[in-house]
Structure 1
Amino acid sequence: MILTEDQLQDLLDKSLAAPPVGVEWAVTLEGSIAEGFGNPSSDIDFLLVARCAEEPPTMPSLLFVDGRRVEIRTRSVRQLADQFRAVEQAAARPGRLSEDLLNRCQRLLHSHPLRGHALVEEVKALLPVERFRRITADWWAHRARQSLRQAMALLCLGESDEAVDWARAGLLQTVKSWAAGLGETYLEPKWLPLQLDRTGRTDVRDRYWELEALTPASGDADAAREHLDACLAFAADLGLTGAPRRPERLTVERVAGVTTWQAGARVHVIRGRRDVFALGDDAGAVWRSLVLGRPLPRVLATAAATGVADPGPLLAAFLRYGLVRLAWKGGGTVTPSLPLAAPPGPVTPPPATAQPLLSVHGAAVRGPRAVDLVPLPADRFAAAAMALVWSNVVVENAVEDLTGALRRGQWRVAALTARRAVHAALRGLFSAHGVHPLPLDPDLVRRLDLLPAATRPIGARAGELLRRAVDPAAHGDSLLAELRAFIAQTRAAAGADSFPLSFDSADTWRATLQLGYDWLRIGTHLDAELPIEEARDLLAGHGTQPRPALPRHQAP
């Protein structure tokens, strides 16, 4: 060790001002210094072991003694026994074994007793060192397989640079597994050079550093493939099983809680009933081509048959975001992970910044290959989209009513109906930008400061129309033309410029119902708030009449 016994005892005396009273206790040195590694900057890690009934605090005490940082952790004998028992129970499924738990046990088993040697040795005997070596070697081997399988998948998908990184990770994990079998169970990889030196196997050490130093040029798929093949061969030489160079054993599988919804031509994928991903045209075509359960190379070939160029990176994005998963035949889901890093799991990208967020035909995207996270929870996304569609239905209804009122000279009816059209158009604008719940109608014009500055002219025009009087002196045709121009301006800003003239004919009503039905399916699935309850009955039946029309001669 880099510190003598006397130095360690002196540091302990200065750190442990008040040892436990009335209980049997011991102190042991853990960590890199106890392992024979460390340097002048390394922490001093003391573990105080107490035979006591109560549970000691889990938070360490942090001290600075003689220029060194000292950490003192306290654990009861029962807590330590529970840790060892948990490791044994999880040993059969190394993928479920917590890195933190394994690390705590490793540090204790390789610790250096300073006080109460008999108690320390009693606790260590709860898990024989040889057994722990096998558990740790299996734990590293499991991770090595996952990383190397991930590298195979990424190389297949054309992500050669990322494949090289995972091949290098699998290489390190393979060597850590091999070294653990020889007693080098310390988890943190930074001391691997010293661990390899201590094994005495210069052939393994030199071959590892030779492969680790290889850096294929960025984008060089052939060099990446050669690097992966070399890593796989070396891993097999070290006894790693379950990672042959057979990408056809990788299959693309469904992820629980991921559902697909289409509105118009836009494909939306909802993850866990919370996150909404909007796919561009190319990404949507690749997503729609997926037949889950098939081997990855076959899935890639089917995606390429859609005509989308280079579909591999899109499939890689679906995997990265947890929209699909990879499995190894006979080996379960591929879940690569790294020690002392972020836990494995799906990535959540930054929310997309497109404005407006929604149109009646789906969420906005940045381009044809986009896999964009909508910056709204799924239920608010669906509620806002349904409100966008319904507000435009109300606009069409109001325009129809206004036209009839003007023809009959019903000026006050026309004034109220025109205001209803303006408010409904504004509700659609707010909904397109993801505002939900909406401001009340009288407040809509004043709340346009919630929206981008480009909408300010719409607010000014809306104010003029809301203040406009309707009487014989104000020509009805002029009012109708101005209102239609305002509606067109608002719809263009809200992505609803192609909204059908709902009440113009049976065909336009059918098109309106189709738009509403697409969004209602999503909203019903998510229990999202409907704009009005009648919309559920109207749209759930896809516009089907509850009773057939009467024969012409019986019509009232």
Structure 2
Amino acid sequence: MILTEDQLQGLLDKSLAELPRGAGWAVVLEGSIAEGFGNPSSDIDFLLIGRAEEDLPTMPSLLFVDGRRVEIRTRSVRQIAEQFRALQEGAKRPGRLSEDLLNRCQRLLHSHPLRGHGLVDEVKAMLPVERFARIAADWWAHRARQSLRHARALLCLGETDEAVDWSRAGLVQTIKSWAAGQGETYLEPKWLSMQLDRADRPDVRDRYWELEAAAPAPGDADAARAHLTACLAFAEDLGLTGVSWRPDRLTVGRVAGVTTWQTGERVHIIRGRREVFALGDHAGTVWRSLVPGRPLTEVLAAAEHTGVADPGPLLAAFLRYGLIRLAWKGGGTVTPSLPLAAPPGPITPPPSTAQPLLSVRGAAVSGPDGIDLVPLPAHRFAAATMALVWSNVVVENAIEDLTGALQRGQWRVAELTARRAVHAALRGLFSAYGVNPLPADSDLVRRIDLLPPATRPIRERAEELLRRTVDSAERGDGLLADLRSYVELVRGTAGADAFPSSFDSADTWRATLELGYDWLRIGAYLDAELPLEEARDLLASNGAQPHQAV
């Protein structure tokens, strides 16, 4: 060790003097210095072991003694026994074994006793170091398999640079598994060079460093393939199983809680009933080509036949976002992870900045390759889109009523109906920008300041129309013309310019029902509040009118 026994005892005495007095402790030195590594900047890690019945805190006390940082942790014998028990139970499924638990047990088993040697020997005897070494080796081997399989998949999808990074991760995890089998179980990879020197296998050590140094430059697919092949061969030579080169072992599978919803040409994916992704034209085409359960190579080939020029990165993005999963035949889901890093799992991209967010045909996207996270919780997305469609139905109905009122000279009816159309159009506008719940109709005009500055002309037009009065056919015709122009402006802004003229004919009403039904299905799936009670009948009839001749 880099510190003598006397130096350690002196640091311990000074550290304990800063803590409240308590029962006698057994004390060990943990961490890199206890392992024979370390340097002048390394922490001093003391673990105090007692027979207390209560749970002792996990968080360390941090002290500064003689220019060194000292961390003091406490654990009871019972807590240590529970840790070792949990470790051995978790070892049955290495993929789920906690890195933190593994690390705590490793540090204790390889610690250097300073006081209370008898108690230290007692707790260490609960888990033989040979058994722990096997657990650690299996844990690293599991991660090496996942990383190397993931690298193989990324290489297939054309994500060369990312594949190289995971090849290197798998290489580190492979050698750490081998080293653990030699008794070198310290988890932190930064001391790997010293661990390999101590393992006294220069052939293995030198080959590892050769492969590490041979990682290819960015963008070189052939070199990346050759490097991964060499890493796989090295892993197999060290006894790692389940990492054959056969690409047909990698398959694409469904992910629980991921559902697909299409409105018009737009494909939406709902993840876990919480998040909505909107796909651009290319991304949607590739998504629709997916057939779960097929080998990744076949899935990629099918995507390439859709006409999308380079579908590999899109498939990789689906995988990255947890919208599909990668599996190894006979080996479960591929879940790569890195030690001492963020936990594995799907990532969530920044929310889309497209404005407005929604249209009657689907959420806005950044481009044809877009896989955009809608910046609304899924239930608000559903509620806003249903409100967008329904508000436009109300606009159509109000314009029809206004036309009839003008034909009969019902000027007061015409004024109120026009105001209803103005407010309904604004409800659609607010919904397109994701505002839900909506402001009251009487407050809509004032609340346009919630929306981007580009909507300010709509406010001026709405205020003017809400003040209009009708007392003649001429003024009525002017109101109708201006209202239609206003509705066209709002719909153009809100992405509803293709909304059918609902009440013109049976065909346009059928188109309206079909459009509404698409959004109602999403709303019902997410338990969102429906815009009106009659919508339940539309759902029950699968988008058709409830009373139809058979």
The normalised TM-score by structure 1 is 0.97
Alignment of 1:373-522 (within 5 A): 373-472=373-472, 475-522=475-522
CA offsets 1:108-152 (integer angstroms, 9 cap, x no match): 000001110110111001000111111101110010000000000
* Alignment-mate amino acid for residue 209 of structure 1: W
Quick one: distance in 2 between partners of 1:495 and 1:345?
35
**Aligned position for 1:80:** 80
Quick one: distance in 1 between partners of 2:19 and 2:489?
77
Quick one: distance in 1 between partners of 2:23 and 2:82?
20
**Aligned position for 1:342:** 342
1:246 and 2:246 are equivalent in the alignment: yes
* TM superposition shift of 1:24: 5.0
**Aligned position for 1:132:** 132
Quick one: distance in 2 between partners of 1:185 and 1:44?
19
**Aligned position for 1:271:** 271
C-alpha contact (below 8 Å) 2:151/2:163 kept by paired residues: yes
C-alpha contact (below 8 Å) 2:521/2:539 kept by paired residues: no
**Aligned position for 1:288:** 288
Quick one: distance in 2 between partners of 1:430 and 1:283?
28
* TM superposition shift of 1:217: 2.6
C-alpha contact (below 8 Å) 1:327/1:334 kept by paired residues: yes
Quick one: distance in 1 between partners of 2:540 and 2:425?
24
Task: Give the match's secondary structure for 1:252.
Answer: strand
* TM superposition shift of 1:534: 2.1
**Aligned position for 1:122:** 122
How has the CA–CA distance of structure 1 residues 29 and 223 changed in structure 2, closer, same or farther, with 3 Å as cutoff? same
Task: Give the match's secondary structure for 2:325.
Answer: strand
- In the TM superposition, structure 1's runs of 4+ consecutive aligned residues that sit over 3 Å from their partners are 18-24, 542-550
Alignment of 1:78-117 (within 5 A): 78-117=78-117
Alignment of 1:162-311 (within 5 A): 162-311=162-311
* TM superposition shift of 1:538: 3.7
C-alpha contact (below 8 Å) 1:516/1:539 kept by paired residues: no
Quick one: distance in 2 between partners of 1:71 and 1:405?
83
**Aligned position for 1:553:** none
1:50 and 2:58 are equivalent in the alignment: no
Quick one: distance in 1 between partners of 2:54 and 2:494?
63
Task: Give the match's secondary structure for 2:17.
Answer: coil
**Aligned position for 2:60:** 60
Task: Give the match's secondary structure for 1:500.
Answer: coil
Quick one: distance in 2 between partners of 1:77 and 1:436?
55
* TM superposition shift of 1:544: 3.5
**Aligned position for 2:368:** 368
Task: Give the match's secondary structure for 2:74.
Answer: strand
Quick one: distance in 2 between partners of 1:432 and 1:124?
64
Q: Which moved more, 1:331-340 or 1:469-478?
A: 469-478
Quick one: distance in 2 between partners of 1:447 and 1:305?
49
Task: Give the match's secondary structure for 2:33.
Answer: helix
* TM superposition shift of 1:74: 0.5
C-alpha contact (below 8 Å) 2:168/2:215 kept by paired residues: no
* Alignment-mate amino acid for residue 156 of structure 1: C
* TM superposition shift of 1:547: 3.6
How has the CA–CA distance of structure 1 residues 101 and 70 changed in structure 2, closer, same or farther, with 3 Å as cutoff? same
* Alignment-mate amino acid for residue 341 of structure 2: A
* Alignment-mate amino acid for residue 175 of structure 1: I
The normalised TM-score by structure 2 is 0.98
Q: May I ask how many residue pairs the two structures share in their alignment?
A: 550
How has the CA–CA distance of structure 1 residues 496 and 47 changed in structure 2, closer, same or farther, with 3 Å as cutoff? same
C-alpha contact (below 8 Å) 1:517/1:540 kept by paired residues: no
Quick one: distance in 1 between partners of 2:286 and 2:242?
30
1:331 and 2:331 are equivalent in the alignment: yes
* Alignment-mate amino acid for residue 160 of structure 2: S
How has the CA–CA distance of structure 1 residues 252 and 473 changed in structure 2, closer, same or farther, with 3 Å as cutoff? closer
* TM superposition shift of 1:96: 1.3
* TM superposition shift of 1:309: 1.0
C-alpha contact (below 8 Å) 1:51/1:76 kept by paired residues: yes
* TM superposition shift of 1:541: 2.2
**Aligned position for 1:6:** 6
CA offsets 1:401-430 (integer angstroms, 9 cap, x no match): 000001111000000000000000000000
**Aligned position for 1:27:** 27
Quick one: distance in 1 between partners of 2:431 and 2:180?
58
Quick one: distance in 2 between partners of 1:255 and 1:543?
28
How has the CA–CA distance of structure 1 residues 192 and 364 changed in structure 2, closer, same or farther, with 3 Å as cutoff? same
How has the CA–CA distance of structure 1 residues 545 and 521 changed in structure 2, closer, same or farther, with 3 Å as cutoff? closer
* TM superposition shift of 1:18: 6.9
* TM superposition shift of 1:239: 1.1
* TM superposition shift of 1:247: 1.3
* TM superposition shift of 1:537: 2.1
Quick one: distance in 1 between partners of 2:403 and 2:386?
26
Q: Which moved more, 1:441-450 or 1:535-544?
A: 535-544
Quick one: distance in 2 between partners of 1:515 and 1:536?
15
Quick one: distance in 2 between partners of 1:433 and 1:117?
68
C-alpha contact (below 8 Å) 1:252/1:326 kept by paired residues: yes
Quick one: distance in 2 between partners of 1:208 and 1:366?
44
CA offsets 1:526-553 (integer angstroms, 9 cap, x no match): 0011222222224542553444579xxx
* TM superposition shift of 1:53: 1.4
C-alpha contact (below 8 Å) 1:141/1:173 kept by paired residues: yes
Task: Give the match's secondary structure for 1:45.
Answer: strand
Quick one: distance in 2 between partners of 1:341 and 1:475?
70
Task: Give the match's secondary structure for 2:252.
Answer: strand
Quick one: distance in 2 between partners of 1:151 and 1:545?
52
C-alpha contact (below 8 Å) 1:278/1:374 kept by paired residues: yes
C-alpha contact (below 8 Å) 1:168/1:212 kept by paired residues: yes
C-alpha contact (below 8 Å) 2:140/2:173 kept by paired residues: yes
Q: Which moved more, 1:409-418 or 1:88-97?
A: 88-97
Task: Give the match's secondary structure for 2:278.
Answer: strand
Q: Which runs of 5+ in 2 are unaligned?
A: none
C-alpha contact (below 8 Å) 2:159/2:313 kept by paired residues: yes
Quick one: distance in 1 between partners of 2:236 and 2:545?
68
* TM superposition shift of 1:19: 7.1
**Aligned position for 1:145:** 145
